[in-house]
């Protein structure tokens, strides 16, 4: 069993970093799998329940903004990936991970594949699960922290987000180690 792993949310100034891990069932093909960033939100949302229903196993792991600040974004991403793999409840024969490196402590052999979310269906599926789960979490944070527009920009560094940071200051879900947030903290 090969498990694809990918993350969503490395670059944003706010919110968690999220990882998906998916073992696909070759007897239950899923049409339309590709890098989640190349898809519309509606297409990702449509595939999300199908992936969960047809996969042999899947997991979604998280690392909080505090963990991002304490560890750094790379290590927090690895934490989210490790959690996603553990949540599946199965140990795959191999992990294929989007990117150019892998976490150190894994339950089986792993290899990194650059742009794997475009070429490996299980990584594409993991990418979609991570992106949809993270986007939904950011919509919830938008209700908890009104005025920041998290449901629109998902915590990424847009002009609207920069303006909200300047006006409102950082909130509890901001990554304080990220330069724009750190500057806003000093200005406050």
Binding residues: 6-7, 98
- Residue positions counted in the chain: 188
Torsion-angle region of 5 (φ positive above 0: left; ψ -120 to 50: alpha; else: beta): beta
- Report which secondary-structure segment, H or E, holds 150: helix 150-153
Residue 121 half-sphere exposure, CB side, CA atoms within 13 Å? 15
In this structure, what DSSP letter does residue 35 have? -
**Which residues sit in the known binding site for a divalent metal cation?**
6-7, 98
Nearest to 86 by CA among 64, 111, 108: 108
Q: Is-contact 6 116, C-beta < 8 A? A: yes
Nearest to 133 by CA among 45, 72, 3: 45
In this structure, what DSSP letter does residue 97 have? E
């Amino acid at each position: 069993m090969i498990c694809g792993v990918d993350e969503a949310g490395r670059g944003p100034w706010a919110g968690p970093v999220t990882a998906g891990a998916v073992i696909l069932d070759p007897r239950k093909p899923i049409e339309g799998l590709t890098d989640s960033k190349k898809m519309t939100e509606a297409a990702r949302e449509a595939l999300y329940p199908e992936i969960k229903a047809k996969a042999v196993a899947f997991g979604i792991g998280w690392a909080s903004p505090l963990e991002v600040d304490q560890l750094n974004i790379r290590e927090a991403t690895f934490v989210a990936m490790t959690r996603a793999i553990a949540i599946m409840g199965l140990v795959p024969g191999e992990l294929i991970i989007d990117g150019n490196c892998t976490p150190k402590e894994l339950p089986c052999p792993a290899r990194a594949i650059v742009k794997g979310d475009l070429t490996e269906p299980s990584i594409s599926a993991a990418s979609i699960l991570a992106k949809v789960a993270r986007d939904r979490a950011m919509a919830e944070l938008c209700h908890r922290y009104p005025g920041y527009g998290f449901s629109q920009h998902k915590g990424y560094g847009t002009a609207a987000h920069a303006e909200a940071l300047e006006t409102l200051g950082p909130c509890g879900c901001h990554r304080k180690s990220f330069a724009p947030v750190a500057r806003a903290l000093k200005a406050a």
